[in-house]
Chains A and B, each alone.
Chain A
Amino acid sequence: MDHKMSRSPWVIHYDGSSCNGCDIEVLASLTPLFDAERFGVVNTGNPKHADIFLVTGSVNAQNLPVVRQIYNQMLEPKCVVACGICACSGGVFRDAYNVIGGVDRAIPVDVYAPGCAIRPETVIDAIVEACGILDQKETVMRAGGDPLTVGGAATWDGGVELGEDGFVAAAGAGAGVDAGTADGAPAGKPAAPAAAKEAE
């Protein structure tokens, strides 16, 4: 029998620090006008039931552990979709003092879906793209491989780590995306972004 995850992907939605605009559009994409349910998409509140994780909004020190926890509770194969520009990079709030950056500062992201606010068509498009990755992951897993070699996890730089006080080391905050993707080593961040911030 031909097993395919993508025939009925269940999604879970979490609002990082979004303005609600993307959240209501994610929900709107499931309602009859756009009707993502015709692809078998079901919205669930339980991470253990979900295949695709739709995250809206950027991450901050308070919600970063929550995003990670939901991600870790989900079972492989799983996919992460960053919904909206804030989830992709921090968006207009990128320079705000309490924003660390996009969702890829917390967990590996497989599909980046831009927009402010994201349009329901884009949400559906991203879910369909994520379904393809789910299928790839499933094939790899059936062959005895590691699902982390597929999708965003394969190239992920590890994001940011919170210190014991629950905060990101001061200099890393707010400039995470640049530093993270440039050198790929979270430890190498502090000096340059701090100087850049001072200069502003």
Chain B
Amino acid sequence: MAHRSVIPFGPQHPVLPEPLHLDLVIEDDRVLEAIPQIGFVHRGLEKLTEKRDMHQFGYIAERICGICAVGHSCGYASACERMLDIEVPGRVQYIRTILHELSRIHSHLLWLGLLADAFGFEALFYRSWTLREQILKIFESTCGGRVILSINEIGGLKHDIEDSELAGIVQTLDAMRPDYEALVHTFLDDNSCGERLHGVGVISKKDALNLSMVGPFGRASGVDYDVRMFGDGAYAGLAAFEPIVATDGDCYARCQVRCAEVTQAMDIIKELVGKIPHDGIGGRTKLTPADGARGEVVIEQPRGEAYYYVRGNGTKNLDRFRVRTPTSQNLAGLTHALQGVLLANVPMIILTIDPCISCTER
């Protein structure tokens, strides 16, 4: 006889470092429905624009999320620059993009580690995180911080990253490659990893489009969409850019897409470092936004498309700051992917969307 019950998942659960609560309606050990409940990390920082001025708020924007910190601060700074009609030097765009791509590598390696941890492969988790430390070491030596870099100002950068340091970054990445390839080989070809990932939590391309899924989660289901392909800012300098897409839509495909994106990010950094212009690093602007001036920016975060909106009111404080983060888009896909799966696969599926709760709730 089928027995129906509700199991609470989270907010404190070992698979995720973040608090996400789901009510899982199950019949025997199949999930019928997953009802997410959020609000554990809500701080209300969009409203803080009333108390912090435009420049101070850059630090708050960076702390929307500690994993996507670089992306958030670049997104906020560029949205403000559009609002103020400032053209930043090419070098600023290139350095921002290089740091952003580095943070994509660190974020994906972090995710790969958590994935290995979720299916009980502790050694692989440690290998991924040890590799990730090399990226953090780059951050620490070029910017001072390991996760929060605070290098962006509205109108430029706080300090330059010298050409010799940039060459060092490329060297580190090249040295990482063999280790990284061995890691990917284990994730994609090892039997025990494949068994856990193949055919789990499948989402078709049609569903992915209907649910507006973004980022690697959507691309694993065949959605050919990556904000970087529009060639904004430094991405215009790339010879070619193709979004990485897989078609299976299962956990394995999501792992595949992220693995390939790390290599792609390494290539992008190498290409950008070779082409970086020397036209100064700008600096903090002294302008104040006009009443009603608006700026909007869309960037590709490690987890997908993120949208930034700022509106001025003639004072140094912004009238409105709004960000739409990738995980808020992907939560619908998450609940869809959880329908009909075995209870034992739930942590794995939640993890493969790479949820970032503190981005989502702010």
**What is the interface of chain A, defined by CB distance below 8 A to chain B?**
12-28, 31-33, 44-45, 47, 57-58, 60, 62-63, 66, 70, 92-93, 95-99, 116-117, 119, 200
Contact = CB atoms under 8 A, between A and B. Distances in A.
Contacts of B41: 15-18, 57, 63
Contacts of A33: 129-130, 133
B339 to A, nearest CB: 25
16 contacts: A15-B41, A16-B41, A19-B63, A19-B65, A20-B17, A20-B18, A20-B66, A21-B67, A23-B18, A62-B39, A62-B40, A62-B42, A63-B40, A70-B12, A96-B45, A99-B44
A13 B16 CA distance: 10
Would you list the 5 A-B pairs with minimal beta carbon distance, nearest first?
Answer: A21-B66, A45-B14, A20-B66, A98-B44, A31-B129
B44 A14 contact: no
Interface of B: 11-14, 17-19, 39-45, 47-48, 51, 59-60, 63-67, 69, 110, 113, 125-126, 129-130, 133, 136, 145-148, 356, 358, 361
Contact of A20 (B12, B47, B113, B358): B358
A24 B130 contact: no
A12 B13 CA distance: 10
Given A21-B63, A24-B67, A62-B40, A93 B45 contact: yes
Nearest to A34: B133
Contact of A13 (B17, B45, B48, B64): B17
B59 to A, nearest CB: 7
Contacts, number: 122
Contacts of A23: 17-18, 66
A20 B148 CA distance: 11
A22 B40 contact: no
Contact of B17 (A27, A60, A63, A98): A27
B40 A31 contact: no
Nearest to B62: A19
B126 A31 contact: yes
Given A25-B147, A31-B126, A66 B19 contact: yes
